[in-house]
Amino acid sequence: MEFCPGCGMLLQIQPATGGNRLRFYCPTCPYVCPIVKKARLVKKEVEPIFSGSDAMKFAPKTATTCPRCHNGEAYYKQMQIRSADEPMSTFYKCCREECQFDWRED
């Protein structure tokens, strides 16, 4: 959101017409500002919870049911991803080699 430096109103977008470019304008005063900068959003690289096959050798196991293959055992890891007064989140990965499904339980 952009605001007018003169009167503080929320600027509106005027579409590009003819040879004019896209620009912001103030509905209450004569302020006009061209839109010149286009920023590309870059997706943040997400690190997997269970990284690599070696991590599974030492990961603890628990008796739980995989939602995909209904196997009765899974690796798990607990992390505090929200504020301290919220419970920890538990991340699971199916132990079955053919499945390896990841899921989360709050």
Instruction: Check the annotation: does 66 bind a ligand.
Output: yes
> Domain limits at 28?
1-39
Instruction: Check the annotation: does 33 bind a ligand.
Output: no
11 close to 4: Cβ distance less than 8 angstroms: yes
> Strand runs (DSSP E) across 2-101, as ranges?
12-14, 23-25, 32-34, 61-62, 74-79, 89-94
| H/E segment holding residue 56 | helix 54-58
Does residue 22 sit in the same domain as residue 60? no
Neighbouring CB atoms inside 10 A of 90's CB total 16
Q: Is 46 inside a domain boundary?
A: no
Q: Is 48 inside a domain boundary?
A: no
Q: Hey, what are 84's tokens?
A: 């301290």
Instruction: Check the annotation: does 7 bind a ligand.
Output: yes
Say whether pTM exceeds 0.85. no
Rg (CA), the chain: 26
Instruction: Give the pLDDT of the chain (106 residues) as one tens digit per residue.
Output: 789 998 999 999 988 777 777 889 999 999 988 887 777 888 888 777 767 666 666 789 999 999 999 999 999 988 888 888 888 889 999 989 899 899 998 6
